[in-house]
Each structure stands twice: as C-alpha cells, then as structure tokens.
Structure 1
Amino acid sequence: MIFVKTQRGMEYIAMQNIKELMGDVKIEVRPAGYLGVLIVHSDDIEKVKEVPEVEKAIPILFELRSDLDEILGKAEEIVEAMGDFETFAVRTTRRGLRHDFNSMDVNIRLGRRIQEISGKEVDLNQPDKAVYVEIVNERTFIGILDGEEERRKYMPEKVDSLKFFGKVSFVQMPYLENPKGAREIGERIGRSAQSFEIKELIIAPYGYVDADELYEFLRGLRRGKESRLKIQRRSYARDVREVRVLVHDLYQTFRDKRRKRSVLISTDPTGKQLSEIREELKRAFERADEIVIFAGSRTGLPKGILRLSDFVIDLTPYITFPTEIAIPASLIALLDVYEEMVQEREQK
C-alpha cells in the first residue's frame, strides 16, 4: 500500500489520474473524512508519483492500531527496514482527537527507541532516512523514505539565507491613512517581517502622527507577526527567530545606526539600479555586522536620509510598489547579492 498526500480538495482528481495510469486499483479517498489523504492499494509507487496532484507518496511497511506501545513495538522492524543509514528523523502526523498521545510523543519516544537500537543520530534537517508515522483515527501507517527530499531544503551547498536576514534591521515608516487601512497594511508588514526572520523591525515615524492610526497600524502589525510565527513554529523542524519590533523616531534611528560596521541602505525611485552598484554592495556586505534598510510609506523617505545613506537603491525602476511589498522586495533582491558574495568568497 501507498499513503498519498495531496493538497486539500485535490483527492478525487488525484484518484482519477492514478486510476488512469494504474487501472482499476483500489483507492481509499479521504479515509475517515480527512482531506488531502488517499490510501492506494498497490506497491507501484513510481506510477503514483507520476501524478502531479500527489504531493508525497509513502510506501506503507506496517499498518497497526493507533496505540503508542504498538507503534514503539515496531522499532526493531523499522530499523531493519531502514537498511544503511547514519542519521534519521521521525515525522508524525496525527489525525483524530481520541488518542492518549500526541505527535510529539511519537516523534520523541520512537526516535529514542530507534536511536537505542541502531546507535545512529537524529537529524531533523538532513536525515539519511525519514520514518513517517501517519495516524488516521484508529489506524496507523508507518513508512520510510530516503532523506533526499528533506535534504533538498537544507543542502550544504546552499547559502543559508537566515545568516543574511539575521543581520537585517528593517526601518519602516508607518502607513497612516485611516485606522482600518493602517491596520490591514500593518498586518501584512508584520507577516512579511516574521516570514524572513529578520533581526528587528523598527517602525519609525517622524514629527506628529495620529495616535489612533498609529495604534491600529501597530495592532495589525502584531497580529500579522504572531499569526506567521505560529505557522512557522508548527511547520519548521528548527528554532524560529521571533522578530523584535521597536518604535523610534526616524531621524534618531538613522543617527543611532550610523556605526562603523553598519551598511545603511535606503529604497527610493531616485536611487540607482541594483546592477549599477552590485559590486560595491558585495564589498559592503563582506564587512557588515548589520545591514539597515530604510523604506518609506505613502510618503517617501526624507531627502536628508537619502543623502546620507551608504546606498540608495531603486528596486523596481518605473514602478512604485505598495508599502507592504517593501520588505519582501528589498530582502529578496539583496539576498541575491549576498548569495553571490558568499559563493565568490568560497571559490577563492
């Protein structure tokens, strides 16, 4: 049997396409009513993987009752089925509300048991083998996949973008128009900042601002940040960096950030294209302990800030992007420069 995962709502389309390839094979669609799941009664996993609606196909080695002791009792057979490996990970998805254990219990206790039997190490990011425990109410399915798919996310030759984002202090002028609009834009900005796990986000007005609008903007920002943080903590097999959010005057922030090993970058349509200053940026990133990016809002950055910045960049010539796009547009563009700098350094 093969345990198949699809996007929610794509189960019946996947079933039809699998049957077109494999004939009248028995398929359980949405077992116990759970979306995004099929159980294919066949061992031809390569045929199943030809269907684009299939997100993951796991060959089922064991089917048993959803009892933690029974699952742990399969540890020796699991190790035997894993063959040669040095590192492993256990991935559990529990569906159903009437179990006396949770997914983490299975991950920890089964992982410890496999470690005791095999003497091998746990590696959640780049395992040689991944043990999948798929629980559907009272039925539990266990399968093993080669760790290649997990390794693709964290291959050693890939540049670790978190090292770059961990140096970034993003200074954003608040979006202040009306309370509802400020709240919505704030939520999008908060979600973006947390998505990239930057070092800090500084909200930097200057002069007098409307208190209600600023309150709603910060309220939305916090909501967006928290919602994204919850998803990251649930999804990532690593610690997630929570973005620190500060409020400070724009001009004073600029003064504070003008340090010896800081690079100050402003985004503005009057700036240069990235291609013109790419080499200079790479040299600056090489020595920088902190990369400070300034972004305007409905009004652009003040001319004094632009004049004294180390770099002024026009990220999208002839296009003015909305305020909530400033963080992803800036970080993705500058990450490309940073990656190139790291690769060139390693080749020397």
Structure 2
Amino acid sequence: MIFVKTQRGMEYIAAQNIKELINDVKIEVRPAGYLGILIVHSGELEQVRQVPEVERAIPVLFEIESSLSGILEKAEEIVKAMGEFDTFAVRATRRGLKHRFSSMDISIQLGKRIQEMSGKDVDLNSPDKAVYVEVVNERTFIGILDGAEERRKYTPEKANSLRFFEKVSFVQTPYLENLKGAREIGERIGRNAQSFEIKELIIAPYGYVDAEELFEFLRGVRRGKLSRLSIQRRSYAREVRETKILVHDLFQTLRDKKRRKNVVIATDPTGKQISDVRDELKRAFERANEIVIFAGSRTGLPKGVLRLADFVVDLSPYITFPTELAIPVSLTAFLDIYEEMKAERSEREQ
C-alpha cells in the first residue's frame, strides 16, 4: 500500500495516470473526502513516483486504528524497520475532528519513544530517516522515507541566506505621489523587507514632504510588514526575525552609516553594471559589519548620496524597475555575490 499526496484538485488526474502505469490497481481517491490524498493498494512505489502529479509517495508499513496509544505501540517495530540511521524526524498530519490528540502530540511522543529506543538524535531539517504518520479519521497510516527522498527547504549543502540579510540595512526614499498610491507602494515595500528578514528598513525622506502622503506611505509599510510577518510565523519551523522600520533624514542617514566597516551601496542607473564591480564587492562584503543599500523612488537618489557611496550600481541596465521592486532586485543580486565570496573563502581555508 502507498499513501500518496498531491496538490489539491489533482487527485483524480493522478489516479488516472497511476492506473495507466499499473493495471487493475485499486485506488482510494480523496478518502473520507479529504483533498490531496490517495491510497494506492499496490507495492509499485517507483511506478507511482513516475507520475508528476504525485507530490509524495509514502510506502505504508502499518495501517492501524487512530489512537495515540496505538501509534506509540508501533514504536519498536518502526525502529526495526528504519534500519541504519543516525538522525530521524517524525512528520505527523492529523485529519479529523474527533481525535483526542493532535499532530504535535504524535510528533513529540512518538519521537521521544524512537529516541529512547534507538539512542539517535532528532533532526527536523536533514534527517537520515523520516517517519510519516498520516491520520485520516479512524485510519492511521505509518511509513518511512529515507532523508534523501525528501525534498527539503534546508540542507547542509545550502548556504543560509539569512546570514547575509541580517547584515543589510535598506534605505528607501518614500514614494509620495497621492494618498492611495503612497499607501499601496508602501505596503509592497514593507512586505518585501519583512520577506527577506533584513536587519532594518529605513524610510528616508529629504527636504519638505507632504505629511499626509508620508503618513499613508508609512501606514502601508507597517501593514505590509505585519501581514508578511504573520504568514512567516505560521509557516516557518524556526524563529522569524522581525525587520525594524525606522524613519530618518536621508543625508543624516548617509552620514551615520558611513563608517569604517560598513559598505554603502547606492542603486542608480548612472552606476556601473554589477559585473564590473563584482570582485570589489566581494572584497567589501568580506570585511563588512553592515551592508547599507540606498534606493530612490520616483526622482532617484540625490547626487550627493551617489558621490559619497562606496559603490554606485546599476542593477538592470536600460531598464527602470518600479520602486517596490528595489528591495527584491537588490537583495537577490547582492546575495549571489555574497555567497560566491563565502564559497571562495571556504576554498582558501581548506
């Protein structure tokens, strides 16, 4: 038996494609009415995995009645079935309203039992073995996958981009045109800043600005940030860094950020293309305590800021991108350079 997960709405398409590969196979589509799952009564795991609509195919070791005690009683057999491993994780999903236990109860208590019996460590990000407990009303399916079979967001081979973003201070001149436009653009900027979890976003007007427009822009920034932050806290299995939002005069911000171990970058169409300063940026990033990126809005950055910046970079020659894209375009471009610098330094140290 194989417990199959699909995108919601793709269950019948996946089932039809599985039947084309495996003749006369019995498939339960949307058991108990739950979207996104199939139960395939076959042992042809590799055939099932050939179907692109299949997100995950879990070979079922045990099907039992749904109770926490019944699940925990299987711990010894689960450990035996896991074979050789150093680390493991329990992934539990409970479907149904009448159970007196939660997915978290399964994960914690079964994980504790397996740890006590095996003496191995829990690793939620890169386990050698992953135990899946899929509860569908009164039926519970238990299976095991090798860690290599999981498509994981975080692996030891991937660079941790947060190490770069926690150094970034992004200085944005406000977008002030009309109340509605200021609020909408502000919301997108706030959402983008929080998405990357940068150290701080500094809204930096200069000269006289319309108070009502600035108020609407800042309100939008705050709303966008909080909207994204709430999603991150629900979605991530790690602590989320909340991006600070500050307001300061543009020229005073430049004076404050021009320190010995800071790198000040201005983004502007008059600058050099990024490939021309790539090596210089890598050397600067290697010594930087803070990476300060200035971005203009409708009228661009003042010439004095461009003159005093360490680098003036044209991120997209011959293209002027919208104000709200300054954060994602800048950060993804400079992250690539930062990770290349880290990789080269690691090679030198070996």
- When normalised by structure 1's length, the TM-score is 0.94
Q: Secondary structure at the match of 2:246?
A: strand
Contact 1:127 1:151 in 2 (8 A): no
State the partner residue of 1:134. 134
Shift in Å, 1:141: 1.7
Alignment-mate amino acid for residue 264 of structure 2: L
Q: Which residue of 2 aligns with 1:306?
A: 306
> Alpha-carbon deviation of 1:195?
1.9
* Corresponding residue for residue 31 of structure 1: 31
1:145 maps to 2:142: no
What is residue 102 of structure 1 aligned with on the other side? 102
- The farther-off stretch of 46-55 and 103-112 is 103-112
Letter in 2 for 1:158: K
- Which secondary structure state, in structure 2, belongs to the residue aligned with residue 305 of structure 1? helix
Is the Cα–Cα contact under 8 Å of residues 79 and 118 in structure 1 kept in the other structure? yes
SS state at 1:98 partner? coil
The SS at the match of 1:125 is: coil
Displacement after TM superposition at 1:322 (Å): 1.0
Q: CA deviation at 1:138?
A: 2.6
Per-residue CA deviation, residues 217-267 of structure 1 (Å, 9 max, x unaligned), is 333333332333333333333222222222222222222111111101111
Q: Identify the residue that residue 71 of structure 1 maps to in structure 2.
A: 71
Q: Is the 8 A contact 2:87 2:123 kept in 1?
A: yes
Q: Which residue of 1 is the match for residue 156 of structure 2?
A: 156
Matches within 5 A, 1:1-348: 1-150=1-150, 153-348=153-348
Give how far 1:8 is off: 1.8
Q: Unaligned stretches of 5+ in structure 2? A: none
- 1:86 shift after superposition: 0.6
TM-score (norm 2): 0.93
Contact 2:125 2:152 (8 Å CA) reproduced: no
Q: Secondary structure at the match of 2:283?
A: helix
> What is the deviation of 1:24?
3.1
**8 Å contact kept, 2:191–2:221:** yes
Letter in 2 for 1:39: I
Report the more deviating stretch, 201-210 or 253-262. Answer: 201-210
Give the partner amino acid of 2:334.
Answer: L
- Secondary structure of 1:217's counterpart equals helix
Structure 1 stretches of at least 4 aligned residues deviating more than 6 Å after TM superposition:
none
Deviation at 1:158, TM superposition (A): 2.8
State the Cα RMSD in Å.
1.8
Aligned residue-pair number = 348
Residue ranges of structure 1 left out of the alignment (5+ in a row): none
CA distance 1:191–1:43, shift in 2 (3 Å): farther
**Secondary structure class of the residue paired with 2:143:** strand
Alpha-carbon distance, 1:99 to partner: 2.6
The answer to whether the 8 A contact 1:6-1:55 is kept is yes
SS in 1 for 2:111: helix
Task: Classify 1:279/1:32 alpha carbon distance in 2 versus 1 (closer, same or farther; 3 Å).
Answer: same
